[in-house]
Structure 1
Amino acid sequence: MGVARDRPSAGLPLLAVGIVVLEFAAAVTSFVASTLLPVVAGDLGARDRLALLVAGSTLGLFVALPLADRVLRRLGTRGTLAAGIAAYTGGLVLAATARSAEVFALGQLATGLASGLLAVFGVSSAIRHLDDRVRLRVVAASSAMWLLPALVGPAATLGLDHLVGWRWTLLVPVPFVLFGRLLVVRAVRHDPPDHGAPRPLWRTLCIPLGAACVVLSGDRWPLAVLGTLVTVAGTVAVLPEGTARLRPGTPAALAAMVLFAVGYFGADSLVTVLLTAGFRVSLGQAAIVLSAAPLCWAATSLVATRFTSRGFPAAGLGLTALGTAVLAADLAAGGSFAVALVAWAVAGVGVGLAYPGLYLRATTAGTSGFTAAELAAAVITAECTGQLLGRTLGGTLSSADETGGLFASYVLFAVALAAAAVLTVRGR
C-alpha cells in the first residue's frame, strides 16, 4: 500500500508532464556536460581536477536541500521560482564564461543550488497526489525522455562545439529546464508547504561539506578519507531511521538507491574520459559509448514497467554491475572500443530493468509511517548523495593517474552496483 493521496485535481496532468519535461532537460544537460568534459578540462587546464568539474552542481543541490523549505515559506512559490531561475541562469553564464576550473565549479554550484530549491516541493507533491501506478508510468515516461538525447545529444553537442565552442553549447539546456520548472510550479502552486519540522540544517550540510573535502583533497588522501566519512555520516543522519541498518522495506531500498547512484552515475560521468584517456579513441567514438547506456535504459524501462516481478531490480543491477566490471577489465586488457560499447549498453539494459521498481520501493511508505515530504527528501537525498560520492571519488581517483586511477574508479563503481543488487532483495 502506498502513501495516502489527496483528492485529485485538474493540475495533476500538468504535474506529470512537468516532471517528464524536467527529465528531458536533465538528459540534455547530462549529455552536454559529459560530452564536453574532456574539452572543458583541456581548455581550463584541469585534467588533474576532474572531481572539481563534475561535482559542482550536485554540491549546490545539497546546499539547497535544507534551505528549500525555509525559502518557500519566506518567498512563496512564485518568489522561490524567480530566485531559482535567477540562480540557474546566472550560474550557467558564470560557468560558460569561466577561465579557471574554480570559476566553472562555482557556476555549476549555483545551478545545482537553483535546482534544489523546488526539488523537494515538486517531488513531494507527486508522491502526495499520484498513485503508485501513475508514478510508475511517470518514471517510465521520464526514462523514455532519454531516448532522443541519447540518439542525437552527443553528436549535436560535438557539432555545436565545433561551430560555436563549448561555452555557448553549455547554454543549450536552458529553455527545457525553465519550461519544465514552470509547468511543475504551475501545477503545485496551490499546494501548501510542508509545515513539519524543517530539514536539519547542519546535519544536511555535512554532506556537501564532506564532498567538498574530497574534491579539494588532491593528493592528500587523509583529507579525502575524512571527507568521505563526513559525507556518509551526514547521509545517515538525514535519511529515515533504519536506512543505515538496512532495515527491510523502504530503508533498505533507499540504501540501495545510494549505492546504485554511486556506481552508475559515477561511471557515467567519466565515460568520455575513460574512452579518450584510457582507450585512446576519438571524442566522437567516446560519445557513441556514452549514448549506449541511457539509450538502452530508456528503451528497457518502457518494457520493464509492464511487469511486477520482484526479481527485476536485483537482476537489473546485477547486469549493470557486470557491464561496469567489464569496462574495468577491458581497460586493463588494453581497451577495445567494441567491448566497451557492448558492456555499457548491457549496463543500461540493467538500469532499465531495475530503476522503476527500485524507485517505487524507495518512495512507497507502506506501514512505515513516512510522509510524502519525508519520502521526497529521502529519495532525492539518497540518489544525489550517491551521485555526489560517485562523481567526487571517481573524479579524484581518476585525476591521480590516467589509467590506474580510471581502473580503480570503475572497480569501485562495479562493487557499489553489486552491493545495491543484493540490497534490493531487502527493499521489497
Structure 2
Amino acid sequence: MVDKGPKRNSAAALAVGIVVVEFAAAVSRFVASTLLPVIAPDLEARGQLALLLAGSSLGLFVAIPLTGPALRKWGARGTLGVGVAGYLVGLIVSATALVGWVFAVGQFISGSAGGLLALFGFSAAIKHLDDSTRARVIAISASMWILPALIGPVATLGMEHLIGWRWALLVPVPAVLLGRLLIVRAVKDDDLGPTSKRPIGRMLLIPIGAAGVMFGAEHLVISMFGVAVSAVGLLAVMPRGTMRLNRGVPSALIAMLLFGLGYFGADSLITILLTDGFGVSLGKAAIVLSAAPIAWGLTSLIQAGLGFGGSSPLLPQIGLALAGISVLTLAIGLEYWPSYSLAIVAWALSGVGVGLAYPPLYVLASKPQADGVGPSELAVAVVTAEDFGGLMGRAVGGAISSFGGDSGLTVAYALFAASLIGAVAVTGRTKTAS
C-alpha cells in the first residue's frame, strides 16, 4: 500500500519536484546535444564524439547499483545531498574542461549523480503517491520534453553566442536545485532504503556491459557481448519471478523491457531509415524525428488532464499495439511505398501510442507488493528494465546497420514491431487475481 504519512501539500511538493527535475533533464539533454558541434572542435575532440556522448548515459547505468547502498548508508537527505553535490561538480568539471576526456569525466559524474537523484525521486513517488497520481506525474513529466524539443536548439545556440558554451552548460542548474528542494521538503528523513542486500558485484555488470555497447557500436561481437554482460547484471536487479513472467509486477517489468527494445531500437535507426530507405533529406528527416517525442508528450499531457491511466492493463495494451502497428507500417512502407507522408504519420502515431501506454505501464511495473520489495528496489527495477531494453534495441540497430545489407532495415523494424506487440501480450499478465 502507498504510505499515508506525508500531508497533501508534501505529496504535491514531491510531484512538482519530480516534474521540475524531468524538465531540467530534458533541457540538459538538448543543451548538451546542441552544443556538441561547438564543444568538440574547441576541445580538439572531433574524433572522440562517442566518448563525449557516452558519459551522461553511462552514468545512469552506474547509478543503478549504487542507489541502494547510498540510501542505506546516508539515508534520504544524505543521498540527496551527495547527488546534488555530484551533479554540480560534474557540470563544473565539464564546463571548465580543456580536453575531451576531462569533459567526458564531468559528464559521467553529473550523469551518475543525476541518475542517483532520479532513482531517489522515483522511489519516493512509489512510496508516497497513489497509482492515479503517479500516472499523472509520469504523464506530465513526459510532456516536459515538448518545450525543450521545440525551442531548445535555437535557444541554446543563442545562449552559446551570448555567453559561450561553458556557461550555457550550467543553465539547467536552477531547475535541478528547485526540484531537489521540493523533493527534500516532501520526503524529509524517509526510509527509502532497500529491504534486502543485492549482489553489488553482479549489478555492476550492467554499466560494464552498457559501456561495451556504447563504445563498441560498430563492432558486432563487442556490442552483443556487452548486452550479454548487462543481462547477467539484470538478473540481480529484477524481483523474484520476473524471468518466469509471474503475474503482476514481474510481467509488467518484462513488458517495459520489450517496450524499450522496440521503441528505442526503432528510434535509434529512424534517421537512417528516412535518409537511406525513404530517400528523405536530412532536413525533412529532422521533422519526422521530432514527431514521435512531441506526440508522446502531448498525448501524455492530454491523458493526465483527463485522468486516464491508473493500474488497468487495457490502456497500455492499446498504446503498445498502436506503436507496434506504426513501426510495422514503416517496415512495410520501406519495401512497398517509401512515402515521406507515410513516414511522418506512422512515426507520429508511434509517439501517440507510447504516450497512451507509458504512464500506466510504469505504474503497473512499480506497484508496491507484499513480497518485501522496497520502493528503491522497485524504482531501480523499472528504470533498469526500460534502459536495458533500449540498450538491446540500440545493439540490434547497430548490428543491422553494419551487417544487415539491403533488407537489414526492414528486418530490424519488423523485429522492433514484434517486440512492441509482444509487450501487448505480456502486459495482459500484469492483472493479478482479485
- Normalising by structure 2, we get a TM-score of 0.81
Summarize the alignment of residues 53-132 of structure 1 with structure 2, pairs less than 5 Å apart. Answer: 55-95=54-94, 105-132=104-131
Shift of 1:120: 3.3
CA–CA distance in structure 2, aligned partners of residues 403 and 200 of structure 1 = 44
* Aligned position for 2:374: 371
* Aligned position for 1:383: 386
* Aligned position for 2:4: 6
- Deviation sequence 1:143-198 (CA, Å, 0-9, x none): 33233234333444566567777766555433333332332233213213426334
Shift of 1:339: 3.0
- Deviation sequence 1:313-364 (CA, Å, 0-9, x none): 1121122123333445556679654333222211110011111221111111
CA–CA distance in structure 2, aligned partners of residues 8 and 130 of structure 1 = 9
Q: Which moved more, 1:282-291 or 1:376-385?
A: 282-291
- 2:328 touches 2:413 (CA, 8 Å); kept in 1? yes
* Aligned position for 2:235: 236
Shift of 1:270: 5.3
Secondary structure (helix, strand or coil) at the match of 1:244 reads: coil
* Aligned position for 1:419: 422
* Aligned position for 1:203: 202
* Aligned position for 2:320: 317
- 1:44 touches 1:99 (CA, 8 Å); kept in 2? no
What letter is aligned with 2:114?
S
- Deviation sequence 1:75-107 (CA, Å, 0-9, x none): 454544443234324434555677887655544
Summarize the alignment of residues 265-284 of structure 1 with structure 2, pairs less than 5 Å apart. Answer: 265-269=264-268, 271=270, 284=283
- Aligned residue pairs, count: 424
Summarize the alignment of residues 338-349 of structure 1 with structure 2, pairs less than 5 Å apart. Answer: 338-349=341-352
Structure 1 unaligned regions, length at least 5: none
Task: Mark the CA change 1:68 to 1:403 in structure 2 (over 3 Å): closer, same or farther.
Answer: farther
Summarize the alignment of residues 148-167 of structure 1 with structure 2, pairs less than 5 Å apart. Answer: 148-157=147-156
- 2:218 touches 2:398 (CA, 8 Å); kept in 1? no
Task: Mark the CA change 1:120 to 1:176 in structure 2 (over 3 Å): closer, same or farther.
Answer: same
> Is 1:355 matched up with 2:353?
no
> Is 1:215 matched up with 2:214?
yes
Identical-residue share of aligned pairs (%): 53
CA–CA distance in structure 2, aligned partners of residues 281 and 100 of structure 1 = 36
- Could you tell me which of 386, 393, 397 is aligned with 1:394? 397
What letter is aligned with 1:323?
S
CA–CA distance in structure 2, aligned partners of residues 120 and 187 of structure 1 = 15
- 1:25 touches 1:177 (CA, 8 Å); kept in 2? yes
Secondary structure (helix, strand or coil) at the match of 2:204 reads: helix
Shift of 1:244: 1.0
CA–CA distance in structure 1, aligned partners of residues 20 and 418 of structure 2 = 33
- 2:198 touches 2:236 (CA, 8 Å); kept in 1? no
What letter is aligned with 2:86?
A
- Normalising by structure 1, we get a TM-score of 0.82
Shift of 1:126: 1.4
Shift of 1:205: 0.8
* Aligned position for 1:288: 287
* Aligned position for 2:250: 251
- 1:254 touches 1:382 (CA, 8 Å); kept in 2? yes
Q: Which moved more, 1:228-237 or 1:392-401?
A: 392-401
Q: Which moved more, 1:13-22 or 1:328-337?
A: 328-337
CA–CA distance in structure 1, aligned partners of residues 39 and 296 of structure 2 = 27
RMSD: 3.7
- Deviation sequence 1:263-312 (CA, Å, 0-9, x none): 32344455456556766766654443233212212222244454466422
Task: Mark the CA change 1:271 to 1:92 in structure 2 (over 3 Å): closer, same or farther.
Answer: farther
Shift of 1:377: 2.3
CA–CA distance in structure 1, aligned partners of residues 277 and 341 of structure 2 = 14
Task: Mark the CA change 1:217 to 1:303 in structure 2 (over 3 Å): closer, same or farther.
Answer: closer
CA–CA distance in structure 2, aligned partners of residues 194 and 219 of structure 1 = 39
* Aligned position for 1:138: 137
